[in-house]
Structure 1
Amino acid sequence: MEHSIMVQALGELVGTFILVLLGDGVVAGVSLAKTKANGAGWVAITLGWGFAVTLGVYTSAFMGPAHLNPAVTIAFAMIGKTPWAAVVPFIIAQMIGAFLGAVVVWIQYYPHWQATKDQAAILGTFATGPAIRSPFANLMSELIGTFVLIFALLALTRGELTAGLNPLVVGVVITAIGLSLGGTTGYAINPARDLGPRIAHAVLPIANKGDSDWSYSWIPVVGPIIGGILGALLFVVLP
């Protein structure tokens, strides 16, 4: 029995909260001063994000589709897999969940913000940023990564996987994108994952923080949406 859109939206909020709590949490552990995970590196971050997505899906899929990502919701609506009436409630819920997840990361690592003097590292625990700032190249990185994500998610719907294993495979997809394509921009591939925590960074009284780099913030929103739509449209024309 399918739940109402509001229950499904609650699932989006819960799942995105878990995703950001664990995803931004691993970045904070690696990047902030005097944590036990400090300096663990990119592989730890990509694995942590893969596990975060897996658990986000597991903790919310019993309520709804567990998109946890506006780019997924919009792309699926474009090809008729999600009703358009659900798009706005889902995106609002995803944004709220992402914001709250970031707030709890701030609480979890509370003394470590004071111990960290690197403003870029502090922002990087909340939102993504480019390794080399080049708007076109950065936009293409987010577009390509999200294209792969959406195409892979749709391919899973045609496979023979046991339903309970799908979240694990989605986690593998996220890890693969991070390891192979994420080194350029930090692979937001999810507007809520970037924008919700960026807003949290802007409004929270975080010790030693700098600005929230709003001049870059449109890229991890626009790139994933375009990439997701292209991935979905290409998939539906395949035999």
Structure 2
Amino acid sequence: MSSSDIFFGEILGTAVLILMGAGVVAGVVLRKSKSYGAGWIVIAFGWGLAVMTAVFIAGPLSGAHINPAVTVGIALDSGEWGDVPAYLAGQMLGAMLGATLAWLAYYGHFQAHLHDAEIIAVPEKPAHPGPVETHRPGPVLGVFSTAPEIRRPVQNLTTEIIATAVLVLAVLRIGVNEQLQVTALGGLIVALVVVGLGMSLGGPTGYAINPARDLGPRIVHALLPLPNKGSSDWSYAWIPVAGPLAGAALAAGLHRLLF
């Protein structure tokens, strides 16, 4: 496959991934959505189905890495780095495009949700007597990127490393199995792994397990003219980038050592 196929395939695949993934989160958390309040299981399955759809669409063009951690893990395992820049550039652009499309699809719901009197009060309510906390994350940041339930950087980083290592190790095993490479079964397995990770390890951090999935939409969140959106939480943003990349390196090392 050519560099241009890889670049445009990753834009397309990652855009579909984020459109559907951010879309399911928006449907669950935004008021006046028909799926409002559907819960974490719906979000985990939604992200898994988003992965399956993205792999099915972009696979013939780029192999559908749709995740810098996957790209880096494969490169570390194989030693082939020539196409890595095309993969990473396509993934970041695709993630930003997908987040923008999700915003457009739910535009009216974002406006209705964030103009709600209860929501408007949240960013301006101090947690304790003293200055107002204008830096705190907004009420819809989770549609675009991840955030920990308990903010402990070492634990949060460790969770992302472990979860991503499982994902990348599964991808590497599929990559060496010719029967899975040539069928849709490989994409389905990866999708189910993502669902399983969401249910098992998604609770602490929201399981980014994909640097582009978190950083690209976070940039879009910072740029969009959303009312009362609050901070994009840049102090946390390094964890869903560094954690998955470290997890990918761990998975590649284990794969070379054990298989």
- TM-score normalized with structure 1 length: 0.95
Match of 1:46 in 2: 44
Q: Does 1:185 align with 2:205?
A: yes
Looking at structure 2, the residues matched to 37 and 46 of structure 1 have their Cα atoms a distance apart, in angstroms, of: 14
Letter in 2 for 1:15: G
**What stretches of structure 1 of length at least 5 have no aligned partner?**
none
Secondary structure (helix, strand or coil) at the match of 1:84 reads coil
2:7·2:90 contact (CA, 8 Å) conserved in 1? yes
User: Is the contact between residue 10 and residue 87 of structure 2 (CA under 8 Å) also seen in structure 1?
Assistant: yes
Match of 1:148 among 166, 169, 172: 166
What is the match of residue 191 of structure 2? 171
In the alignment, structure 1 residue 126 sits paired with structure 2 residue 144: yes
Return the offset for 1:8.
Answer: 1.3
Deviation at 1:144, TM superposition (A): 0.5
* Partner residue in 2 for 1:105: 102
C-alpha displacement at 1:80, in angstroms?
1.5
Alignment correspondent of 2:25: 27
Q: CA offset at residue 146 of structure 1? A: 0.2
Does structure 1 residue 236 correspond to structure 2 residue 253?
A: no
Report if the CA contact (8 A) 2:6-2:90 is conserved. no
Q: Identity of aligned pairs, percent?
A: 49
Cα deviations by residue, 1:147-189 (Å, 9 ceiling, x for unpaired):
0001111122344435221111110010000000000000000
Tell me, yes or no, if structure 1 residue 157 matches structure 2 residue 175: yes
**Which residue number corresponds to residue 80 of structure 1?**
78
Offset of 1:16 from its aligned partner? 0.2
C-alpha distance after superposition, 1:32-53 (max 9, x if no partner): 1110000000000000000000
CA-to-partner distance for each residue in 1:61-99, whole Å, 9 max, x for gaps? 010221000111111111216x31211121111000000
CA drift of 1:238 comes to 1.2
Contact 1:122–1:209 under 8 Å retained in 2: yes
Q: Is the 8 A contact 1:106 1:206 kept in 2?
A: no
2:69 alignment partner, one of 65, 68, 71: 71
Q: May I ask how many residue pairs the two structures share in their alignment?
A: 236
**Largest Rg, 1 or 2:** 2
Question: How far, CA to CA, are the matches of 2:255 and 2:207 in structure 1?
Answer: 22
Partners of 2:229 and 2:157 lie apart in 1 by: 25
User: Structure 1: how far apart are the matches of 2:74 and 2:175?
Assistant: 12
Q: Runs in 1 of length 4+ with deviation above 3 angstroms?
A: 117-121, 158-162
- For the residue of structure 1 that corresponds to 2:164, the secondary structure is helix
Distance 2:255 2:167 in 1: 12
Per-residue displacement from partner, 1:6-36 (whole Å, max 9, x unpaired)?
2112111100000000000000000011100
Give secondary structure in 2 for the equivalent of 1:192.
helix
Larger mean CA deviation between 119-128 and 90-99 belongs to: 119-128
How far apart, in 1, do the equivalents of 2:74 and 2:139 lie? 34
Letter in 1 for 2:245: I
State the secondary structure of the residue aligned to 1:59: helix
SS in structure 2 of the partner of residue 60 of structure 1: helix
Instruction: Indicate which of 55, 58, 61 corresponds to 2:56.
Output: 58
Match of 2:153 in 1: 135
Is the CA contact 1:195–1:221 (under 8 Å) kept in the aligned structure 2? yes
Give the conservation status (yes or no) of the 8 Å contact 2:20–2:47. Answer: yes
